[in-house]
Amino acid sequence: MKAVIYEGTRKVRVENVPVPKLLADTDVIIRVTAASICGTDIRLYWGTMTNVMPMIDGEPLGHECVGVVEEVGQAVTGLKVGQRVVSPFSVHCGTCYYCEHDVLTRCESMQIFGVGKGFGAPLGGCQSEYVRVPLAERVLLKLDERVSDEHATVLPDVLTGVFAGMECLRGGETVAVTGCGPTGLAAVMCARLLGAGPIFAIDHHEDRLAIAAGLGAIPINFDHVDPREVLRGHTGGRGVDVVADTVGKIGSVNTALPLARPYGTMILLGYIDPSETLPIGIASLNHIQIRSALVPAIRRYQPRVMQLIADGRLDPTPLLSHVLPLADAARAYEMMSERQDGAIKIVLKP
Ligand SMILES: [Zn+2]
Ligand SMILES: [Zn+2]
């Protein structure tokens, strides 16, 4: 079968590899019908996550896919061949301390698809024709027929994760979202759905700001104006109730923090390298609550987000800029990496 393989910094290739086999009675093999490229894949491609997820030449990529059940292990009774299913980006055991406390992405034996041996070899990658899913009945979710394959690719990670992170909104909050990539646009969508407003989107790419504006946000281009001044102008000089950072660079977090009003909330949605440190004084002085929402319990929120998509209350369309054949993965990675042709998030079809 064809699979997207990491080759080295800024290099991926599509290679023929063996089709995965059932290794345990609780496994399922799915035939992938759509797989998306994540910001994490791009960081692996850039080589900027090597201290957390070291990759070597030959390792498969991809942790976001949708597919059809192809083969089930003997102990699997709740899934049938031919059913459409979606996976979270990770596999959880269901029995450890964290699983019992419903924080599945901290599972003590968590495995992640397609991010190298540090997280669960021999799990394969999702950007391939077939993938083996361990503990499949616990992990896989049957897909609502009203949700397309392309739209379902936001369920394993980005939209579900952002929804979980923004779920603390109760409605009526002023919100600023920094960064208008896939995560930032998802944050704008979720803030809107949860009744927040006004919502401000901060970036300096005009095309992305235009998409955020289309989703109901007030765009702020930091190349032209000082976001702090603009936000203070809209909030009686106080700052916004909630700031959601999706850039994940410490410089961005640092400039985002003072955008929140005293007793406001800062939600960290982007991946921040663990070696980064934050001057915490402004948060202490202003009583800012900092909430880390990096990859929360995806599987717990997936049924709800799937329902919201099925009901037309969340529309993933603006997050998915291109659909390309899996064979064009090298081009797709380059497009997303360099933001060519307005690339936001790219879906690969095997
Ligand atoms: Zn992802
Ligand atoms: Zn567990």
Q: Which residues does 256 contact at the CB level (< 8 Å), separation at least 6?
A: 176, 178, 202, 243, 245, 247, 266
pLDDT confidence of residue 273: 87
Strand segments (E) across the chain? 2-8, 11-16, 28-36, 65-72, 84-86, 90-91, 111-112, 130-133, 141-142, 175-178, 199-203, 218-221, 240-245, 260-268, 289-292, 322-325, 346-349
Rounded distance from Cα 156 to ligand 1 centre (Å): 7
196 and 209 in a common domain: yes
Quick one: pLDDT band at residue 10, thresholds 50, 70, 90? very high
When pLDDT is averaged across residues 326-340 and rounded to a whole number, the result is 97
Q: Is the dihedral of CA 277, 42, 227, 204 positive or negative?
A: positive
Rounded distance from Cα 102 to ligand 2 centre (Å): 9
Rounded distance from Cα 101 to ligand 2 centre (Å): 9
Which ranges of 81-129 would DSSP assign to H, the alpha helix? 97-100
- Which CATH number belongs to the domain containing residue 84 in this structure? 3.90.180.10
6 and 145 in a common domain: yes
What are 115's two structure tokens?
């991010």
Closest ligand, as measured to the CA of 99? 2
Rounded distance from Cα 288 to ligand 2 centre (Å): 32
Q: Indicate whether 242 pLDDT > 90.
A: yes
Rounded distance from Cα 39 to ligand 1 centre (Å): 6
Rounded distance from Cα 240 to ligand 1 centre (Å): 28
The answer to whether 350 and 70 are in contact (CB under 8 A) is no
Closest ligand, as measured to the CA of 93? 2
Rounded distance from Cα 215 to ligand 1 centre (Å): 22
135 and 9 in a common domain: yes
pTM of the model as a whole: 0.96
330 and 288 in a common domain: no
147 and 167 in a common domain: no
Closest ligand, as measured to the CA of 35? 1
128 and 172 in a common domain: no
Rounded distance from Cα 270 to ligand 1 centre (Å): 11
Mean pLDDT of the chain: 95
Domain around 67: 2-156+297-349
Rounded distance from Cα 307 to ligand 2 centre (Å): 25
Quick one: pLDDT band at residue 287, thresholds 50, 70, 90? very high
pLDDT in tens, 76-130: 999 999 999 999 999 999 999 999 998 888 899 999 999 998 887 678 999 999 9
228 and 141 in a common domain: no
Cα separation of 75 and 90, whole Å? 21
Rounded distance from Cα 264 to ligand 1 centre (Å): 28
Rounded distance from Cα 303 to ligand 1 centre (Å): 18
Choose one of 251, 266, 292: the last residue of a domain: 292
137 and 20 in a common domain: yes
pLDDT confidence of residue 103: 87
Closest ligand, as measured to the CA of 159? 1
Q: Indicate whether 296 pLDDT > 80.
A: no
pLDDT confidence of residue 293: 87
How many independent structural domains does the chain possess?
2
pLDDT confidence of residue 118: 82
Rounded distance from Cα 205 to ligand 1 centre (Å): 22
80 and 60 in a common domain: yes
pLDDT confidence of residue 303: 97
Rounded distance from Cα 89 to ligand 1 centre (Å): 7
- Which CATH number belongs to the domain containing residue 202 in this structure? 3.40.50.720
230 and 166 in a common domain: yes
Closest ligand, as measured to the CA of 158? 1
Rounded distance from Cα 172 to ligand 1 centre (Å): 29
Choose one of 277, 292, 307: the last residue of a domain: 292
The sheet carrying 240-245 orders its strands as 218-221, 199-203, 175-178, 240-245, 260-268, 289-292
Quick one: pLDDT band at residue 279, thresholds 50, 70, 90? confident
Residues with CB under 5 A from ligand 2 (ion): 92-93, 96, 99, 107
Residue linked to tokens 């616990």: 138
Closest ligand, as measured to the CA of 91? 2
pLDDT above 90 covers a percentage of the chain that reads 88
pLDDT in tens, 193-205: 999 999 999 999 9
Rounded distance from Cα 238 to ligand 1 centre (Å): 35
Closest ligand, as measured to the CA of 110? 2
Rounded distance from Cα 113 to ligand 2 centre (Å): 16
344 and 286 in a common domain: no
Closest ligand, as measured to the CA of 153? 1
pLDDT confidence of residue 274: 87
130 and 44 in a common domain: yes
Helix, strand, coil shares of the chain as percentages rounded to 5?
30, 25, 45
Rounded distance from Cα 28 to ligand 2 centre (Å): 19
pLDDT in tens, 131-190: 999 999 999 999 999 999 999 999 999 999 999 999 999 999 999 999 999 999 999 999
